[in-house]
Copies of this chain bind each other. A is one copy, B any other.
Amino acid sequence: MSRKIITIGEIMMRLSTPGNERFFQANSFNSVFGGAEANVAVSLAQWDVDAYHMTVFPDHDLGKAALRYLKQVGVKTDWVFFGPGRLGLYFLENGAMQRPSKIIYDRLDSAFSQFEGKNLEWDRIFEGVDCFHWSGITPALSQKAAEMLLEALKSAKRNGVLVTGDINYRRNLWQYGKSPLEIMPELIRHTHVIVAGLTDFENCMDIRASDYEEACLQAKKDFPLIKYITTTERNSISASHNQLEGWLWTGKELLRSKNYDMTDIVDRIGGGDAYMAGLIYGLLHLTDQDAVEFATAASVLKHSIPGDANLVSKDEVMALMKGENVGRLLR
């Protein structure tokens, strides 16, 4: 039977300049929809998982277009709501060579961040759910969003759901008057698997460490529910040439995936979300080592797909894990 997974978070319209044009060269923008948590759901929906996403859209044609996108890629939309507020946007200028990519966020006052989620029947939402995924972007958006997320986490606990959280600290968010350290620790306390790098540890968990394993050990002490901690090591040689490796701390040891050389990257947005989806899939279906391999291979493939989401099949991820068909022509 398929696993049932739910994610929660804001979905934005991404407007990116065509080709390698700069913002002030562009006369048109390509549009796709994306959001850190929804990207995870979309990935999982490609892999025979029942993936639900909870979010809120403004009640106009672009909000409805976002809903149609979720349906098209196979995400269940039972918990998509419409409410007052804007559709969050972000503008993307694709980097090239040594020139970095640039994002201009325009997500203030989004329908999701303004949503009155108080009366949601979370226990009904979590019925039969195997895994719940959240990210540190949601509590950074607004007080309301942070509170809604905490309600969800409590219900997840009540319902025995595995909880994964991508700490994902972003300095530019957190503008509603709270600091991450006031909000994040309680959320993390309800979470079994976290994605965190050293910056995340410091800003959201108040853990300073010079070494990743040391940080993990401290996290385990401070947040006893945590079972796994994971991250990706990315080496940016140029905008289109990166190297990527997944790390998974299992409480006992730090497992590392193969290191991938990624040249001619098509679209790096969502690479972390693809990794997260791969890890969730792996933790539910594979050994720990295979989980981190699956997650990293999934993330690598994401870099070859235009758009935010990782539209690849399970078989394609598996083949890359095994080193099969790499870059070939399948007739």
On A, residues with C-beta under 8 Å from B are: 15, 18-32, 60-62, 64-65, 68-69, 71-74, 86-87, 89, 91, 93, 95-106, 108-109, 170, 172, 236-242, 260, 262-266, 268-269, 300-301, 303-307, 311-312, 316, 320, 325-331
Q: Assess whether A31 is in contact with B26, with CB atoms less than 8 Å apart.
A: yes
Q: Whole-angstrom distance between the alpha carbons of A262 and B238 in the complex? A: 9
Q: Whole-angstrom distance between the alpha carbons of A118 and B78 in the complex? A: 34
Q: Assess whether A19 is in contact with B304, with CB atoms less than 8 Å apart.
A: no
Residues of chain B lying within 8 A (CB to CB) of residue A268: 329
Residues of chain B lying within 8 A (CB to CB) of residue A65: 23-24, 26
Q: Whole-angstrom distance between the alpha carbons of A191 and B50 in the complex? A: 39
Residues of chain B lying within 8 A (CB to CB) of residue A260: 98
Residues of chain B lying within 8 A (CB to CB) of residue A327: 95, 97-100, 236-242
Q: Which residue of B lies closest to A71 (CB)?
A: B71
Contact of A304 among B18, B62, B98 (CB under 8 A): B98
Residues of chain B lying within 8 A (CB to CB) of residue A236: 326-328
Min CB–CB distance A168 → chain B (angstroms): 11
Q: Whole-angstrom distance between the alpha carbons of A106 and B12 in the complex? A: 14
Q: Whole-angstrom distance between the alpha carbons of A316 and B24 in the complex? A: 15
Contact of A29 among B24, B31, B102 (CB under 8 A): B31
Q: Assess whether A98 is in contact with B28, with CB atoms less than 8 Å apart.
A: no
Extra contacts, 12 of them, besides A99-B305, A99-B327, A100-B330 (Cβ < 8 A), are A23-B62, A25-B306, A27-B30, A71-B71, A99-B304, A99-B312, A100-B326, A100-B329, A109-B109, A236-B328, A238-B264, A239-B328
Q: Whole-angstrom distance between the alpha carbons of A300 and B21 in the complex? A: 16
Q: Assess whether A266 is in contact with B91, with CB atoms less than 8 Å apart.
A: no
Q: Whole-angstrom distance between the alpha carbons of A89 and B98 in the complex? A: 30
Q: Assess whether A96 is in contact with B264, with CB atoms less than 8 Å apart.
A: yes
Q: Whole-angstrom distance between the alpha carbons of A96 and B304 in the complex? A: 5
Q: Whole-angstrom distance between the alpha carbons of A160 and B60 in the complex? A: 38
